[in-house]
Amino acid sequence: MSIRLSTVLLSLILPLTAAEPAKPFHFAHRGGSYEFEENTLGAFRSSYDAGVRGFETDVRMTRDGQLVILHDDSLDRTHHGQGPIEDMDSTAVRQVLSRKQGEPLLFLQTLLDYLADKPGMYVEFEMKTSNKELYPDDRIEAYAKAIYQQVTTHRPEDSTWVFTSFDPRPLKAIKAIDPDAEIMLIKGGPLDHALMDSAKEIGSHRIACKMEGTTRLAVTQAREAGFIVTGWPGHTMNDYFLGLGLGVDAICTDIPVEVQKYLEKQAKH
């Protein structure tokens, strides 16, 4: 290959390299549910110690108004317990242990205390209120007030705290409390205009969608419309690469440490 031809090819490649988008931010779904016991303090601590600087977690309310970390509508899958924590008072909840590690069921306050001296964190607090039997309309306001007050009181410096949900009701309630609060509407399907329209209606510039079925064009259009786009789920590295190809801003992953190690290895080359 001639020197001139090499120079021409290099001139074509360099602009493309310089124009590459920043890699999506990755954060730990339930603390890293494929690598650790989900939504336990041990999971969040392990992910943080590995260099992960973003978490997603799930917040529910006990019968007496205390906020706890739990994904499912019942304790059965993840803890030594049965039924919804919404039917239990906080004294009973404090006796519940996780199935694998025997950790106490995590209270939101305990997680916030752990995060208090960790500036620069990104945390999504998913409000698990979609089950209207557990969270009828007349319970949403009290739930929103409790989570807003507790979360915003403990936010460390330079951190981004986001209230998220599949359920528009608590997102609207949070906005009624604080119009400047960061909220995000989640969809259990691919990104489309209906999701963007619904997000606009409740004042959310953040949206989350399943990456499978989402197109790069849809992500581009959403970002051009001013949305910050998060993709999920992130079960494998292939999911991370899918999100990278789609151009999402962030990826909610169950393997945050594996992604972190991959990126650290790439940075060395």
**Yes or no: domain 22-267 corresponds to CATH 3.30.70.270:** no
Residue 20 has pLDDT above 50, yes or no: no
Residue 193 has pLDDT above 60, yes or no: yes
Mean pLDDT of the chain: 92
Banded pLDDT at 2 (limits 50, 70, 90): very low
Contact of 249 with 25, CB cutoff 8 Å:
yes
Banded pLDDT at 17 (limits 50, 70, 90): very low
- For residue 155, the model assigns a pLDDT of 86
pLDDT in tens, 93-116: 999 999 999 999 999 999 999 999
Residue 183 has pLDDT above 90, yes or no: yes
Percent of the chain with pLDDT strictly greater than 70: 92
- For residue 10, the model assigns a pLDDT of 35
- For residue 22, the model assigns a pLDDT of 57
Residue 57 has pLDDT above 50, yes or no: yes
- For residue 269, the model assigns a pLDDT of 79
- For residue 15, the model assigns a pLDDT of 41
pTM of the model: 0.91
Q: What is the mean pLDDT of residues 27-42?
A: 98
Banded pLDDT at 154 (limits 50, 70, 90): confident
The DSSP result for the chain, as a single string, is --HHHHHHHHHHHHHHHHTPPPPPEEEEETTTTTTS-TTSHHHHHHHHHTT--EEEEEEEE-TTS-EEE--SSSSTTTBS--S-GGGS-HHHHTT-BBTTT-PBPPBHHHHHHHHTT-TT-EEEEEE----TTTS-HHHHHHHHHHHHHHHHHTPPTT-EEEEEES-HHHHHHHHHH-TT--EEEE-SS---HHHHHHHHHTT--EEEEESTT--HHHHHHHHHTT-EEEEE---SHHHHHHHHHHT-SEEEES-HHHHHHHHHHHHT-
